[in-house]
Amino acid sequence: MTIAQTDTDRSPGQFQRLMLRLAKGAWLIVLVYVALYAVYAIQQPKALTSYSIAALVNNTAPLALAAAGQAIIVLSRGFDLSVAGVISICNVTLAVYPLEGPGGAAVSVLICLGIGIVVGAVNGYLVAFLRLQSIAATLATMIICQGIALVILKAPGGYVAEWITYEMTDRLFKLIPVSGLVLGAIILIWMVMKRSSFGISLYAIGADETSAALSGINTVRVRFMAHVVAGCAYGLAGFMLSAQTATGNPTSGTPFLLLSFAAVALGGTSLSGGRGGVFASIVGAATLTLLQKVLFSSGVSSFYTGVFQGLVLILAVVFSAQLARLGEGK
């Protein structure tokens, strides 16, 4: 088996190598995004001003961060439903206990990260140590988290600290959106993480857990860490969402449950693990958000936006799987 594998790797055709490249990297989804943006720019000439770019990035940031966390779990062949719960808890916490000023914002970020780490550690313990199926275990933690969010804040209301809502949605030097910087930082961290032993182990576990364990990877620890890291990303997503909505809602995280998977799948990350990445998933989330805007400005009734989103999702998954198959020469 391994010999056959190296054989095909040694002499792939030009075409196959191109397909493999497209399927493995984030190239495909970036191309789709650029094309979609071109359509948007033609429809709305204002789309290229730094103001509307900033607005778009602000809209994208929460889903992009949620998708980044989800991608880490999906890469290791898991599912994490707790994303919805963590975002809801962070949102209501920030709305019920607003902390003003830059210092308050820093503490708020730490609180959100803390919430993410705690929930992630619980998930990690259940999935990695107790070996529960990740989809079932995180279903339970998600429901518990949603309950906690409801206990903190019964009905939508409250105010997020003004400093956060202004500064986090602002532009630096009237040009660079702050939320874009946050996303950029996450992408940079991922670039480093991907090359670390943690990142390599993550891909290895997703591709084949038994082989990974046999080659000396501590699969239990890597899985646990994956959930903690993902929890941090959800915490940040909750923070950025609160900065944008400026108010609290105990069910604010719910839409992110399915959309985060949609973004990950759109980015070409295989739901059976081992293929894809965080960057592609972030671009996938951006594409989903942009698609909504393009559909709106093309005059599609907002009632039917979902029909297109669903179809695009199916097409994207079919297409990227097809590319991967061509690339692997099957």
Partner 1 sequence: MNLTGKTTTDRDRFAQAGDARGSARISRETISTVSVAVLCVVLLMSARLINPALGSWSQVETVLVLGFFLVILSFGQGVVILTGGLDLSLPATITMGGILATSWIGAGNPAEWYLLPAVLILCGLVGLASAIGIIWLRVPPFIMTMAMSIIVASALLGYTKGTPRGSAPDAAVALMKGEMLGVPAPIWALIGFALAGWLFQSRSVYGRYLYAIGTNMDAARNAGVPVTAMRILPYVLSAMCAGLVGISLVGYSSGATLRMGDDYLLPSIAAVVIGGSSILGGRGSFVGTVGGALLLTILGTIISALGMDFGLRTIIEGSIILIALLLLREELFQKLRAMGR
Distance of CA 46 to the CA centre of its chain: 28
Nearer to partner 1, 2 or 11 (CB): 2
**Near partner 1 by CB under 8 A: residue from 143, 176, 187, 200:** 143
To partner 1, the closest distance from the beta carbon of 325 in angstroms equals: 9
Q: Please report, as a single letter, which amino acid is at residue 129.
A: F
Give, as ranges, the residues between 49 and 88 that touch partner 1 (CB under 8 A).
79
Supply the minimum distance, in Å, between the C-beta of residue 107 and partner 1.
24
Question: What is the nearest approach in angstroms of partner 1 to the Cβ of residue 131?
Answer: 7
Q: Is 213 in the site for partner 1 (CB under 8 A)?
A: no
Question: The tokens 């989903």 sit on which residue?
Answer: 288
156 touching partner 1, by CB under 8 A: no
CA gap 92, 150 in Å, rounded: 8
7 binds partner 1 (CB under 8 A): no
What the block records as the tokens of 302 is 């907002």
Per-residue x/- track, 221-260, partner 1 (CB under 8 A): -----------------------------x-------x--
Candidates 135-143, 166-174, 194-202, 227-235: pick the segment binding partner 1 (CB under 8 A). Answer: 135-143
Amino acid making up residue 144: I
Tell me how far, at minimum, the Cβ of 104 lies from partner 1, in Å.
Answer: 26
**196 makes contact with partner 1 (CB under 8 A):** no
Q: Which is nearer to partner 1, 52 or 219 (CB)?
A: 219
Contact pick of 31, 172, 188, 307 for partner 1 (by CB under 8 A): 307
